[in-house]
Amino acid sequence: MAIEPNTLAPEVLAKFPVFAELPEEQRIFLSYNLQLLRINAGQRIISSPVHDHLEFFVVSGSLAIELNAGEQRRVAADSELSSIQFEQFDSGFEIVAIEDTEYFSVHNELLELLHGRDDKSSEHYLTIQAGSDSHEIVHDFYQSLAKNRVTLPSLPELVKKISHLMSDDKLGANKLSQLIASDANITARLLRMANSPFYRGLIEITQLSDAITRLGLTTTRHLITAFTVKDASDSQLPNWIKKRQLKSWKNSIQLGALCYVLAKQCDRLVPEEAMLAGLLHNIGELPLLNFAAEHPYLEREPEILDEILADASSRVGAIILHKWNLPKALVTAVQHSDTWFFEPYESKPTLTDVLIVARLYSLTMHESGVHSSSLPTFDQLPSYRKLCSGQMDPDATISILENAREQVAEMKALLNS
């Protein structure tokens, strides 16, 4: 196969002037709607009517645009002409790769939307992006997000400071504890976690620095991220939205605990990373709920609100975590948490795999209003087949999680304290 799609990073977009002037949130949003394509030297792309509405951007390598009139134009990465619009050509053309080339294309309507020049023509494009079956509120949300009119959650300041400190190879528990100690609530939670059965040593810990040493720097950062995100709720929201936020948090606690316990059974996964994936899997619901608060009728029709959240939460969540510069594996897990048959190129188990399996268990065994007939079985999941190298059959998986009810309950209590 000569042409292969791949993910396009927001940092790549920033290299082109038309995108560099956009706010970071818009570049991240755009990156989730585009694909980086690769074409081998000498390959051709025959023009079609759809090209009339596209602009090509060359990331690496170079392309030649051969016009019917015999004229040729060269489009190359890192040059004055690194992009080209095809609507300027009156007659047909062919695109030829001069060398192995990476490129992406953007619909003209989306460019108009991002720069606020043409709201009407963009509606059709965003309908395609959101999905023709999506609720109108999802379309409105994406429209507002593309125009930078939606405020996405920011990474909590304490987590930013911790991440900055952790870039220092000489960072120790004492220095980190000095920063965290100013937050008594976080300190108490970390001490409870360090003294829990999951990490308990021979003696009880009473000093924050000792708790950080026992937990480890990375686990400490993961836990603080989870704790601070939960506390960042908008007190001005109506009560019916606050209740739905509480439901979202309870679901995230349930899934975080399940992911932790399930990952403990697999020596290839870090339980704390899996727990964080579970805790953040529905973070995309936060801005969607804020947006939904502007539509009071949804209070009387909660099933529609559930449909809206199910439709858009995973993509919005991935955009948020990308903005926070969290690890790619975590972003991917959240993005595909509702993609039951997700099957990436990695042969080893990933955070995405444990999140999908834990989520199916949670939906099947715990969450009301979900019809099991609409859900796949464990052995149908590619993620299940990868997890733990297939050593567990579906009944064993359920048995492990059922037998770990006490561990799950204790972890939920720790995360919810």
Looking at the structure, tell me whether residues 172 and 313 fall in a common domain: no
Closest to 37 measured CA to CA, from 110, 105, 125: 105
CA-to-CA distance for 173 and 368, rounded, in angstroms? 43
Output the pLDDT for position 394. 63
The answer to whether residues 101 and 63 touch, using CB atoms and an 8 Å cutoff, is yes
Among residues 232, 253, 274, which one ends one of the domains?
Answer: 232
Looking at the structure, tell me whether residues 168 and 248 fall in a common domain: no
User: Chain centroid to CA 41: how far?
Assistant: 34
Looking at the structure, tell me whether residues 354 and 257 fall in a common domain: yes
Output the pLDDT for position 164. 81
CA-to-CA distance for 280 and 330, rounded, in angstroms? 9
pLDDT, mean of each 10-residue run, the chain (417 residues): 58 86 77 83 75 82 81 85 73 83 84 62 48 75 80 84 77 82 89 86 87 88 82 76 90 89 82 91 93 92 91 89 88 89 78 92 69 76 75 64 75 78
Looking at the structure, tell me whether residues 408 and 278 fall in a common domain: yes
Looking at the structure, tell me whether residues 163 and 272 fall in a common domain: no
Looking at the structure, tell me whether residues 92 and 104 fall in a common domain: yes
The answer to whether residues 6 and 60 touch, using CB atoms and an 8 Å cutoff, is no
Q: In what side-by-side order are the strands of the sheet with 101-107?
A: 4-7, 35-39, 101-107, 54-60, 83-85
The answer to whether residues 126 and 113 touch, using CB atoms and an 8 Å cutoff, is yes
The answer to whether residues 17 and 76 touch, using CB atoms and an 8 Å cutoff, is no
CA-to-CA distance for 137 and 310, rounded, in angstroms? 13
Looking at the structure, tell me whether residues 35 and 108 fall in a common domain: yes
Looking at the structure, tell me whether residues 188 and 320 fall in a common domain: no
- Token pair 């909590």: residue: 156
The strand pairing partners of 85, in sequence order, are: 55
CATH of the domain at 257: 1.10.3210.10
Looking at the structure, tell me whether residues 163 and 207 fall in a common domain: yes
User: Chain centroid to CA 123: how far?
Assistant: 24
Among residues 172, 204, 232, which one ends one of the domains?
Answer: 232
DSSP, res 269: S
25: domain range? 4-146
For residue 118, count other CB atoms closer than 10 A to its CB: 13
Looking at the structure, tell me whether residues 226 and 247 fall in a common domain: no
| SS3 category, 74 | strand
Number of domains making up the chain:
3
Output the pLDDT for position 122. 46
Looking at the structure, tell me whether residues 252 and 141 fall in a common domain: no
DSSP, res 147: T
Output the pLDDT for position 240. 93
**Overall residue count recorded for the chain in this entry:** 417
CATH of the domain at 72: 2.60.120.10
Among residues 182, 214, 232, which one ends one of the domains?
Answer: 232
Looking at the structure, tell me whether residues 127 and 9 fall in a common domain: yes
Cα-flanking dihedrals φ and ψ of residue 40, to 5°? Answer: -80, 155
* Single pTM value for the model: 0.75
CA-to-CA distance for 135 and 299, rounded, in angstroms? 16
